[in-house]
Amino acid sequence: MDFRSDNVAGIAPAILAAIAAANAGSASSYGEDDWTKRLQSKMNELFEREVAVFPLATGTAANALALAALAPPWGLVCCHRLSHIEEDECGAPEFFTGGAKLAPMDGAHGKIGAGDLARFLDGYGFGVQHHVQPAAVSISQASECGTVYSVAETRAIAEVCRRHRLALHMDGARFANALVHQGASPAEATWKAGVDVLSFGATKNGAMAAEAVVFFDPARATDFLYRRKRAGHLFSKMRFLSAQLVAYLEDGLWLRLAANANAMAERLARGLASLPGTELAHPVEANEVFVRLPRPVRERLAGAGARFHPWVSAGADAIRLVVPFDADEARIDRFLAVAAAAQAPTP
Amino acid sequence: MDFRSDNVAGIAPAILAAIAAANAGSASSYGEDDWTKRLQSKMNELFEREVAVFPLATGTAANALALAALAPPWGLVCCHRLSHIEEDECGAPEFFTGGAKLAPMDGAHGKIGAGDLARFLDGYGFGVQHHVQPAAVSISQASECGTVYSVAETRAIAEVCRRHRLALHMDGARFANALVHQGASPAEATWKAGVDVLSFGATKNGAMAAEAVVFFDPARATDFLYRRKRAGHLFSKMRFLSAQLVAYLEDGLWLRLAANANAMAERLARGLASLPGTELAHPVEANEVFVRLPRPVRERLAGAGARFHPWVSAGADAIRLVVPFDADEARIDRFLAVAAAAQAPTP
Amino acid sequence: MDFRSDNVAGIAPAILAAIAAANAGSASSYGEDDWTKRLQSKMNELFEREVAVFPLATGTAANALALAALAPPWGLVCCHRLSHIEEDECGAPEFFTGGAKLAPMDGAHGKIGAGDLARFLDGYGFGVQHHVQPAAVSISQASECGTVYSVAETRAIAEVCRRHRLALHMDGARFANALVHQGASPAEATWKAGVDVLSFGATKNGAMAAEAVVFFDPARATDFLYRRKRAGHLFSKMRFLSAQLVAYLEDGLWLRLAANANAMAERLARGLASLPGTELAHPVEANEVFVRLPRPVRERLAGAGARFHPWVSAGADAIRLVVPFDADEARIDRFLAVAAAAQAPTP
Amino acid sequence: MDFRSDNVAGIAPAILAAIAAANAGSASSYGEDDWTKRLQSKMNELFEREVAVFPLATGTAANALALAALAPPWGLVCCHRLSHIEEDECGAPEFFTGGAKLAPMDGAHGKIGAGDLARFLDGYGFGVQHHVQPAAVSISQASECGTVYSVAETRAIAEVCRRHRLALHMDGARFANALVHQGASPAEATWKAGVDVLSFGATKNGAMAAEAVVFFDPARATDFLYRRKRAGHLFSKMRFLSAQLVAYLEDGLWLRLAANANAMAERLARGLASLPGTELAHPVEANEVFVRLPRPVRERLAGAGARFHPWVSAGADAIRLVVPFDADEARIDRFLAVAAAAQAPTP
What are the chain C neighbours of D233 within 8 Å (beta carbons)? 58, 61, 232
Supply the mean pLDDT for chain D: 96
Rounded Cα distance between D145 and D148, Å, is 9
The yes-or-no verdict on residue D212 having pLDDT over 90 is: yes
Query: Is residue B145 within 8 Å of residue B188, measured between CB atoms?
Result: no
Q: How confident is the model at residue D345 (pLDDT cuts 50, 70, 90)?
A: low
pLDDT-flagged residues of chain A (< 50): none
Q: How many Å lie between the alpha carbon of D133 and the closest alpha carbon of chain A? A: 9
Rounded Cα distance between B266 and C254, Å, is 77
- Concatenated DSSP letters of A4-49: S-GGGS---HHHHHHHHHH-SS---STT-SHHHHHHHHHHHHHHTS
State the chains in contact with C (3 or more Cβ–Cβ pairs under 8 Å): A, B, D
pLDDT in tens, chain C (347 residues): 899 999 999 999 999 999 999 999 999 999 999 999 999 999 999 999 999 999 999 999 999 999 999 999 999 999 999 999 999 999 999 999 999 999 999 999 999 999 999 999 999 999 999 999 999 999 999 999 999 999 999 999 999 999 999 999 999 999 999 999 999 999 999 999 999 999 999 999 999 999 999 999 999 999 999 999 999 999 999 999 999 999 999 999 999 999 999 999 999 999 999 999 999 999 999 999 999 999 999 999 999 999 999 999 899 899 999 999 999 999 999 999 999 998 766 55
Q: Do B74 and C226 touch (CB under 8 A)?
A: yes
The yes-or-no verdict on residue D346 having pLDDT over 70 is: no
Q: Do D101 and B102 touch (CB under 8 A)?
A: yes
What are the chain B neighbours of A240 within 8 Å (beta carbons)? 11, 208-209
Q: How confident is the model at residue B346 (pLDDT cuts 50, 70, 90)?
A: low
Q: Do C234 and B129 touch (CB under 8 A)?
A: yes
State the pLDDT at residue C346: 56
Cβ within 8 Å of residue D32, ≥6 positions away: none
State the pLDDT at residue B345: 61
The yes-or-no verdict on residue B161 having pLDDT over 90 is: yes
Boundaries of every domain in chain D: 12-253, 254-343
Q: Please tell me if residue B89 touches chain D, with a CB cutoff of 8 Å.
A: yes
Cβ within 8 Å of residue C321, ≥6 positions away: C3, C265, C268, C288, C289, C290, C291, C308
State the pLDDT at residue C343: 75
ipTM (interface predicted TM): 0.96
Query: Is residue A99 within 8 Å of residue D99, measured between CB atoms?
Result: no
Q: Please tell me if residue B231 touches chain C, with a CB cutoff of 8 Å.
A: no
User: Which spans in B143-274 are helix H?
Assistant: 151-164, 175-182, 186-189, 224-230, 239-249, 253-273
What are the chain B neighbours of D88 within 8 Å (beta carbons)? 130-131
Instruction: Compute the average pLDDT of residues B140-151.
Output: 98
Q: Do A95 and C101 touch (CB under 8 A)?
A: no
Q: Please tell me if residue B133 touches chain C, with a CB cutoff of 8 Å.
A: yes
State the pLDDT at residue B232: 98
- Fold observed for domain A254-343: Aspartate Aminotransferase, domain 1 (3.90.1150)
Q: Do A64 and B24 touch (CB under 8 A)?
A: no
Q: Please tell me if residue B61 touches chain A, with a CB cutoff of 8 Å.
A: yes
Q: Classify residue A206 as left (phi > 0), alpha (psi -120 to 50) or beta.
A: left
Q: How many Å lie between the alpha carbon of A345 and the closest alpha carbon of chain B? A: 33
State the pLDDT at residue C345: 61
Nearest alpha-carbon partner for C243 in C25, C9, C99, C31:
C31
Class of domain B12-253: alpha beta
Q: Please tell me if residue B57 touches chain A, with a CB cutoff of 8 Å.
A: yes
Q: How many Å lie between the alpha carbon of C58 and the closest alpha carbon of chain B? A: 20
Q: Please tell me if residue A87 touches chain B, with a CB cutoff of 8 Å.
A: no
Q: How many Å lie between the alpha carbon of C141 and the closest alpha carbon of chain D? A: 19
Q: Considering CB atoms only, which of B99, B223, B225 is closest to C72?
A: B223
- Which value, in Å, is the radius of gyration of the alpha carbons in chain C? 21
Q: How many residues are recorded in chain C?
A: 347
The yes-or-no verdict on residue D315 having pLDDT over 80 is: yes
Q: Considering CB atoms only, which of D74, D129, D223 is closest to A72?
A: D223
State the pLDDT at residue B256: 98
Q: Classify residue D268 as left (phi > 0), alpha (psi -120 to 50) or beta.
A: alpha
State the pLDDT at residue A244: 98
Q: Please tell me if residue C204 touches chain D, with a CB cutoff of 8 Å.
A: yes
Q: Please tell me if residue A126 touches chain D, with a CB cutoff of 8 Å.
A: no
Q: Considering CB atoms only, which of B72, B129, B225 is closest to C225?
A: B129
Residue type, C171: D
Instruction: Compute the average pLDDT of residues D155-162.
Output: 98
Q: How many Å lie between the alpha carbon of D86 and the closest alpha carbon of chain B? A: 9
Q: How many Å lie between the alpha carbon of B49 and the closest alpha carbon of chain A? A: 29
Q: How confident is the model at residue D343 (pLDDT cuts 50, 70, 90)?
A: confident
